[in-house]
Amino acid sequence: MDTSATRLSPPEQPRDFGFFVDGQIIPAGEREVFERHSPAHDVPVTRLPKCTTNDLDSAVKAARTAFSDRRWSGLSGADRAAVLLKAAEGIRARLEEIAYWEVLESGKPISQVRGEVGGCVGMFEYAAGLARSLHGDSFNNLGDGMFGIMTREPIGVVGIITPWNFPFLILCERVPYVLASGNSIVAKPSEFTSASTVILGEILTEAGLPDGVYNVVTGTGPTVGQAMAEHMDVDMLSFTGSTRTGRAIVAAAGASNFKKLGLELGGKNPQIVFADADLEDAADGVAFGIGFNGGQCCVSGARLIVEAAIADEFAQMVTEKMSRISVGDPLDESTQIGAITTDAQNTTIMGYIAKGQEEGAELVLGGDALDMGRGQFIAPTIFKNVDASMAIAREEIFGPVLAVMPFETLDEAIEIANDTEYGLAASVWTKNIDKALTVTRRVQAGRFWVNTTLAGGPELPIGASSNLAGAGKLGQWALKNILK
């Protein structure tokens, strides 16, 4: 890989990655391998071992041993913080390498991935501070005969299962906090985007993390992932992915050791725009909110709920902005939307676009697969005259498809926004503080943005307000305090 060249290109040969147990990269050996083809370039880019449930057992054992002998959990917060800060430096030093492989596996634009990996540096730095400030509580209001002390202890072995849409970012929203509080980890990345999760193992070891504290098992969901959810020696599982798989995880945890769960699942998120908003800003935000990552984002603003008086004018502004989004080679610095990450997702999105037309919504932009000569790309798409009963209004499409729905009154806006089985995130655009506060209080969403969207930082928790979207408001907060 030559990242110094002005224009990056895919590798001539796919790179072999191993999996990572007890501080060692383990090559595939006799195991089957996944060969990942870049969804933008149609060439093989990485190869990773298809691990077995025996490999998972070895990783859990390494994590358990590392936890039990207290090589990490027994260190002071200051010592753990020192390792996390070195890891932050390590990520910064290898940012280009991580970004390159992630672009090739996921199809997302290089400029975007650089920003995401840079954000991960901040998460490790922030978690280093938390490692030093974790503390318990005491109860001196129990009468003279009793005094209570609550300590916060690491839970033990934490499994982390991640999806393909933000492979490194979602991993790093969890790993540094889980480590800061003294736990051991077994991570299972998506089979489509595993490389950066393995690279993090090397970075953590170089930063001084003791062997066995962070392990990675690559493999399929129904084998390794399911076995992790059922595993009797995994104490907690953080799962990010589809609502359907989330149900399987809950069932597996219930049928095994009732492991503690953190779930971040699907979304069908509203962008509510009032006539008194700064419409130029709001149109930028709405276009960004559905265009970012090609709409393959759990918190994408997929439903534009806009005040009827400005609905046509505003839809036109958003259409104009979305028509200027540059879709193309994700290795090109100027690309804003890259390829659709998986073949199945590509089929799903095109299926919803066809369904929207069949159900009578008006297609005002896009709707096509874009022919770039190679790879799979979908044009930013907008539907108007969307009825609340239509599939494109109700179901998570996970693509660059915006459904526009007008409202007359504030109550109606709230009703439309809440007419969903999800409750993950929402945005409201208005200059009126009363409206903004009313909407944020009455619309069910774990994350709310006012006059912005998809913003955040390590200081802010993430969460969900309904069980279909995730594990209640506990979400990231629970992970940042991953203690018994």
Q: Residues with catalytic annotation?
A: 264, 298
Q: Which is nearer to ligand NAD, 210 or 267 (CB)?
A: 267
Q: Which is nearer to ligand NAD, 181 or 240 (CB)?
A: 240
| Contact criterion met (CB below 8 Å) for 483 and 154 | yes
- Closest approach of ligand NAD to the CB of residue 213, in Å: 21
| Contact criterion met (CB below 8 Å) for 469 and 266 | yes
Place of tokens 């489509």: 192
Q: Which is nearer to ligand NAD, 170 or 364 (CB)?
A: 170
Q: Which is nearer to ligand NAD, 299 or 317 (CB)?
A: 299
The long-range contacts involving 403-406, CB below 8 angstroms and separated by at least 24 positions, are 403/302, 403/303, 403/304, 403/356, 403/361, 404/304, 404/306, 404/311, 404/315, 404/318, 405/303, 405/304, 405/305, 405/306, 406/305, 406/306, 406/307, 406/308, 406/311
Chain-centroid distance of CA 93 in Å reads 23
- Closest approach of ligand NAD to the CB of residue 253, in Å: 10
Count how many Cα atoms sit within 13 Å of the Cα of residue 111 in the half-sphere of its side chain: 13
* 3-class DSSP state of 65: helix
- Closest approach of ligand NAD to the CB of residue 462, in Å: 7
* 3-class DSSP state of 263: strand
Residue with nearest beta carbon to ligand NAD: 221
Q: Which is nearer to ligand NAD, 238 or 336 (CB)?
A: 238
Q: Which is nearer to ligand NAD, 5 or 258 (CB)?
A: 258
* 3-class DSSP state of 286: helix
**Interacting residues with ligand NAD (CB under 6 A):** 161-165, 170, 188, 190-191, 220-222, 225-226, 229, 240-242, 245, 248-249, 264-267, 298, 396, 398, 424, 470
Alpha-carbon span 78 to 133, nearest angstrom: 9
| Contact criterion met (CB below 8 Å) for 187 and 162 | yes
DSSP for 413-448, please give it: HHHHHH-SS--SEEEEE-S-HHHHHHHHHHS--SEE
- Closest approach of ligand NAD to the CB of residue 300, in Å: 9
- Closest approach of ligand NAD to the CB of residue 4, in Å: 32
Q: Which is nearer to ligand NAD, 193 or 319 (CB)?
A: 193
Kindly give the residue spans of alpha helices, DSSP state H, lying in 31-108: 53-68, 77-93, 95-106
What separation in angstroms does the CA of 326 have from each of 102, 323, 339, 379? 20, 8, 12, 9
Both tokens of 131, joined, read 């490692």
Contacts of 374 (CB under 8 A, 6+ apart): 40, 41, 42
- Closest approach of ligand NAD to the CB of residue 144, in Å: 48
- Closest approach of ligand NAD to the CB of residue 362, in Å: 26
Q: Which is nearer to ligand NAD, 226 or 430 (CB)?
A: 226
Query: Taking Cα atoms as reference points, which of 84, 77, 165 lies closest to residue 122?
Result: 84
Alpha-carbon span 188 to 75, nearest angstrom: 26
Both tokens of 10, joined, read 């895919």
| Contact criterion met (CB below 8 Å) for 433 and 450 | no
- Closest approach of ligand NAD to the CB of residue 454, in Å: 12
Contacts of 30 (CB under 8 A, 6+ apart): none
Chain-centroid distance of CA 347 in Å reads 21
- Closest approach of ligand NAD to the CB of residue 245, in Å: 3
Q: Which is nearer to ligand NAD, 94 or 231 (CB)?
A: 231
